[in-house]
A = this chain, B = another copy of it.
Amino acid sequence: MSELIDGERLWGRLMAMAEIGATAAGGSNRQALSDDDQAGRDLFLGWVTAAGCTVDTDAVGNLFATRAGTDPDARPVVLGSHLDTQPTGGRFDGVYGVLGGLEVIESLNDRAVATKAPIRVAVWTNEEGSRFPVSMMGSAVWAGALDLEVARALTDVDGIAVGAELDRLGWAGALPFGHDLGAYLELHIEQGPVLEDSGSEIGIVTGVQGFRWMTLAVSGEPAHAGPTPMHLRRDPSRAVAEILTGLYEISDRYAPEARVTPAQFVSLPQSPNTVPAEIRFSIDFRNPDGELLDQMENRVRSLIASAAGANGCEFELRLDNVSPPVVFDAGCVAAVDTAAAESGLTSERMVSGAGHDACNVARHNPAAMIFIPCRDGISHNELESIEPEAAAAGVEVLYRSALSLANG
């Protein structure tokens, strides 16, 4: 267990937070701007207030707890993530980054270490996007990527708006959306199997994959499965056979960073003895390099046109979602790298496959992320699991990184 960090206090707080909105299967349900989300923040506020922090919120309810620095002109080093969860969420996604940040402040207090720049813990509003359907909402508004009024107008399934909940809970504060951070570090569980597979203790996250989501519909000529010879068919299944094979050739070509995920299959008609009229599925493809992502999209488009044409089929290809790659700040990444080495932990540089609030922060400020392994790569799931030692190790890296950035 880390000597710099009080792993038991950290773990105890993680478990205490998990009790708020606790689910029978061992997870947490603290959806954004709910009473449970409020209760989670109240618990957090008690801890940060006791730790001597000042607290502010901005107009979209992002919460900032600040430990003062010695230099009144120094820009704050911000350590953040989120406290809201999926409806059947785990105990660590987001929460670990917030309570890890708090633990850095506690350790600084324990050792009476002053920092030149303030250390601030950020709790971003509605990162999950499960109740209100825009993920990373609070950090997007903060970064200017999403209009505040658009965010306030988002409604849940009961028609309740973000704005109404912000007003009801009193979360909308006066802090300006100032982009004057010294650095931003987000500590998070990996949500993937890479660290567990390689055995590394720390992931030094150099960026976030860009992704594109497409929906493909391939249509042919529905025909009786018996009397219609193979060579006279316009068979979407055969086109899809070629398209799927080609998609995995594309992922192999851009390995190991590329991801290609065909999903959401459905065909019409649902008859076993009719050549399908239409097959639909989605294609999610990712790459940390924007130019390679463009190349992948060109290959995907060309593959689909070729396979459909070769089988006498028509197709419709819709681009549903575009997210550009994020490259984190070299200085922040180097600080994390050094901190991991100083902590005596094994580490590897990696790219995040999932989006995080750090992506929004990185639009205007130097940022990076730190990953720790999570069991079986499982996340967004009540079975989400990490080891207490790994949790403390990650916070030690966060502590060392923050200290070097705050005094640098």
Contacts and interface: CB of A to CB of B under 8 A. Distances in A.
A235 to B, nearest CB: 8
Nearest to A208: B226
B259 A237 contact: no
A265 B261 CA distance: 16
Interface residues on A, range: 35 or more
B255 A230 contact: yes
Given A192-B227, A226-B353, A232-B193, A264 B270 contact: yes
Contacts of A284: 225, 272-273
Copies of this chain in the oligomer: 2
B251 A237 contact: no
B247 A241 contact: yes
Question: Interface of chain A, helix or strand or loop or mixed?
Answer: mixed
Interface string A319-347: 01100000000000000000000000000
Interface in A334-370: 352-355
Contact of A226 (B209, B229, B274, B281): B209
Nearest to A252: B230
Nearest to A192: B227
Given A227-B352, A244-B244, A263 B256 contact: no
Given A224-B380, A228-B353, A232-B194, A265 B258 contact: no
Query: For A262, A263, A275, which residue has the most chain B Cβ atoms within 10 angstroms?
Result: A263
Interface in A228-286: 228-232, 235, 237-238, 240-242, 244-245, 247-248, 251-252, 255-256, 258-267, 270-276, 279, 281-282, 284, 286
A206 interface: no
A129 interface: no
Contacts of A320: 272
Nearest to A254: B230
Contacts of A197: 232
A47 interface: no
A264 B272 contact: yes
A226 B231 CA distance: 39
Interface of A: 190-194, 197, 209, 211, 213, 215, 223-232, 235, 237-238, 240-242, 244-245, 247-248, 251-252, 255-256, 258-267, 270-276, 279, 281-282, 284, 286, 320-321, 352-355, 377, 379-380
